[in-house]
Homo-oligomer: A and B are copies of this chain.
């Protein structure tokens, strides 16, 4: 069931081999969902497939990104993080403490259509991030 639409299945459809390491990475992404760093994916993936190597994690993340199934985000972090790319992701990021909040609403459809045409681009997902100061950090600001 989830197999038909799952990340691993999508890899196969795209012509890539369905290997155990890839299935492990895909499963981690699907289970944990949000905001995973490559390191976290590696650790969790090894609980499923112990021999999983770091290189394979990066390679699989690249493949899934190219296919538009996941997407990197920035979260005030040293390392890249990934989210599954169903439609869009929307964050409110505090530039002081790094706290991140999510929200849902966003009407980018019209813009997507315009841009696709203008740049001959095939858009598969988007990221909308607002930067500012959160409730806690706001009072500490000097400016």
Contacts and interface: CB of A to CB of B under 8 A. Distances in A.
Contacts of A76: 72
Given A95-B68, A142-B14, A134 B119 contact: yes
Q: How many A residues touch the partner, as a band?
A: 35 or more
Contacts of A46: none
A54 interface: no
Given A10-B143, A66-B95, A96-B66, A131 B135 contact: no
B134 A121 contact: yes
A71 interface: yes
Interface in A82-97: 85, 92, 94-96
Contacts of A126: 128-131
Integer count of this chain's copies in the complex: 2
A138 interface: yes
A71 B80 CA distance: 16
A142 B95 contact: no
Contact of A131 (B15, B71, B80, B132): B71
Contact of A143 (B67, B85, B119): B67
Given A10-B143, A95-B66, A126-B128, A133 B121 contact: yes
Contacts of A124: 95, 131-133
